[in-house]
Structure 1
Amino acid sequence: MTATDAPLLLLHGVMMSETVWDEVIPALGDRREVIAMTAMGHRGGPPATRHPTRVEDLIDDVERRLDDLAVPRAHIAGNSLGGWMSIELARRGRAVTVCAISPAGFWDTGAASNHDATARLRREVALARVGRHLAAPAMRVPLLRRTLLRNIADHGDRITAAQATKIVGDLTACAVSTDLLSTRAQIAPLRALPCPITVAWAEHDRIFPPSVNGVIARLRLPDARFVVLSGVGHVPMIDDPALVAATILESIERADS
């Protein structure tokens, strides 16, 4: 399999699902096969095989599924947890290229670079579970969609009420959220990149601010290409799916040229 005909694998963030890519996929065109996977332990994905579930377990599961599809290597794009998984899959030799979008895992264990992010996500889970019965009616109001999704998107009002309610449902149904939000693991330095890696950081990321986690990423991946996605939040597929698609395609085309 050559770089040109390798499929594109899309990996979502923690407590989300493959449907977060629904508006990105059409903008990618039809030049290559696209595989969107829902991670193990997440709604719609395979059940977790053990608890506590580790990020490594999710990566192992993706490798098994790639093997089942007879895909030895793929272009991989991932957001947040999916970005972390993308980089680790590259470390294992499974990536032709990587586009990691606001990737998790770039923190110092026990420091603010990790604690602040996980604390914010824990609050999101708690609030969503308490108010899950009110989510559907609340999401019908654009201003409320924007307010309730403010930690992950600048423009939560641009998606439909059904899409926003699906995001809340994915969050509350995730069976491994406690395990993953308690992890002490992190991305180890990659001094020699196993493949071309683009790290695309959301300009207005409130979960992993580029001024904190992005700085750590630059230290651990000194040879990666870094770009800023303007005007978007931590899950830029909500704010600007066309920008996300263009960024992924550019990362692949730079390697193909």
Structure 2
Amino acid sequence: MWSNVVPLLDADYEVFALTAAGHRGGRPARPGTTVRDLVDDAERSLDDLGLERPHLVGNSLGGWIALELARRGRAASVCALSPAGCWDIGTGEHLPGAAKLEKAITLALRTRWVMPMAAHLPWVRRLALRDSASHGERVSAAELKRLVDDLVGCTIREEMLTTEEYVAPMDPLPCPVTLAWSELDRILPMETIGARARVLMPEATWKVLPGVGHVPMFDDPDLVAATIRECLESIPSNAAE
């Protein structure tokens, strides 16, 4: 997800790109794993790296994990890009997005065998990523093949798509938080999930990322890197770690 953004930042910052438990390349996760378990695992990774209160960035589930780490006092700041979990379970407003992700996973499973050839076609990349990106054709063929492997290799897909967990209100904030929402997000729409996030975290800085979909790193890595830099530069010096 972050392969095109990290090189835009690591000349000026020490960057650690973590993989969540149960995801390809992350620690194994048991059946029934919860988001809380993923936060526990991420906190363990921070401990292993000797990072007490780093600046955290995350998208979707990663943004949710970053916010919960901040709640535990483990963040100097958070830049959350369309974070998941900012929904009202009772209204079911998260279900359409979950259904789209489930369809994407099903498509990945059914077409994995042909992807080494098909991924070279721009229209295939755009179609495959239509719910995650506004310009899926900008993702390279090699990247799309890795993304398909990531989807297939995630062992806790069902648990994450059917979770009844949610982000509790954060008022006051435990650290500076920026909510940067993708303008064209089809998974977690800005008008509903984004609006509720602003209610849950009224002190957070709000930004709209223009022209990008749910995973803005696919559409515009430069915009994402610039957004992260802006967040870091706006933080008071006494908050830096």
Please give the range of the TM-score, normalised by the shorter of the 2 chains. Answer: over 0.9
Identity of aligned residues (%): 50
Q: Distance in 2 between matches of 1:159 and 1:177?
A: 23
Contact 2:119 2:141 (C-alpha < 8 Å) held by counterparts: yes
Runs of 4+ off more than 6 Å: none
- 1:11 maps to which residue? none
Rounded to whole Å, the distance in 2 between the matches of 1:251 and 1:191 is 19
| Paired residues of 2:63 and 2:81 also in contact (CA < 8 A) | yes
Q: What is the alpha-carbon root mean square deviation over aligned residues? A: 1.1
User: What TM-score does the superposition give when structure 2 sets the normalisation length?
Assistant: 0.96
**Whole-Å separation in 1 of the counterparts to 2:7 and 2:106:** 33
Looking at structure 2, the residues matched to 67 and 165 of structure 1 have their Cα atoms a distance apart, in angstroms, of 32
SS of residue matched to 2:33: coil
| Other structure's SS at 2:158 match | helix
Match of 2:102 among 118, 122, 128: 122
Q: How far apart, in 2, do the equivalents of 1:60 and 1:147 lie? A: 35
Aligned length: 237
SS at match of 2:17: strand
Describe the shift of the 1:71–1:113 C-alpha distance in structure 2 as closer, same or farther (beyond 3 A).
Answer: same
Counterpart of 1:115 in structure 2: which amino acid? L
Could you say which residue in structure 1 is the equivalent of 2:4? 23
Is structure 2 residue 20 aligned with structure 1 residue 34?
Answer: no
CA distance in 2, matches of 1:161, 1:136: 8
SS at match of 1:199: strand
Q: CA deviation at 1:114?
A: 1.2
Do the aligned partners of 2:132 and 2:185 also contact (CA within 8 Å) in 1?
yes
For the residue of structure 2 that corresponds to 1:76, the secondary structure is strand
Higher mean Cα deviation, 95-104 or 108-117? 108-117
Match of 2:213 in 1: 233
Please list the CA deviations of residues 58-81 of structure 1 after superposition, one character each: whole Å capped at 9, or x if unmatched: 110111111111111100000000
- The answer for the alignment partner of 1:209 in structure 2 is 189
Tell me the residue number matched to 1:6: none
Aligned to 2:113: 133
Q: Is the aligned partner of 1:172 residue 2:128?
A: no
Counterpart in the other structure of 1:199: 179
CA contact (8 A) 1:206 1:233 kept: yes
Do the aligned partners of 1:28 and 1:246 also contact (CA within 8 Å) in 2? no
| Aligned twin of 1:14 | none
Q: Which runs of 5+ in 1 are unaligned?
A: 1-19
1:243 and 2:217 aligned:
no
Q: Is the 8 A contact 2:104 2:128 kept in 1?
A: no
Letter in 1 for 2:5: V
Shift of residue 85 of structure 1?
A: 0.5
* 1:182-193 matched pairs, under 5 angstroms: 182-193=162-173
Partner residue in 1 for 2:134: 154
Aligned to 2:87: 107
CA distance in structure 1 between the aligned counterparts of 2:151 and 2:236, rounded to whole angstroms: 36
1:110 CA displacement:
4.2
1:149–1:62 distance in 2 versus 1, CA, 3 Å: same
SS of 1:222's equivalent in the other structure is coil
Q: What displacement does 1:32 show?
A: 2.1
Task: Determine whether 1:76 maps to 2:56.
Answer: yes
Normalising by structure 1, we get a TM-score of 0.90
When residues 29 and 35 of structure 1 are mapped into structure 2, their CA distance, relative to the original with a 3 A threshold, is: closer
State the alpha-carbon separation in 2 of the partners of residues 88 and 29 from structure 1.
25
Matched residue, 1:3:
none
CA distance in 2, matches of 1:125, 1:163: 16
Is 1:85 equivalent to 2:48 in the alignment? no
Structure 1: how far apart are the matches of 2:113 and 2:138?
Answer: 22
Supply the distance in 2 between the matched residues of 1:111 and 1:138 (Cα, whole angstroms): 39
Alpha-carbon contact 2:56-2:78 (below 8 Å) kept: yes
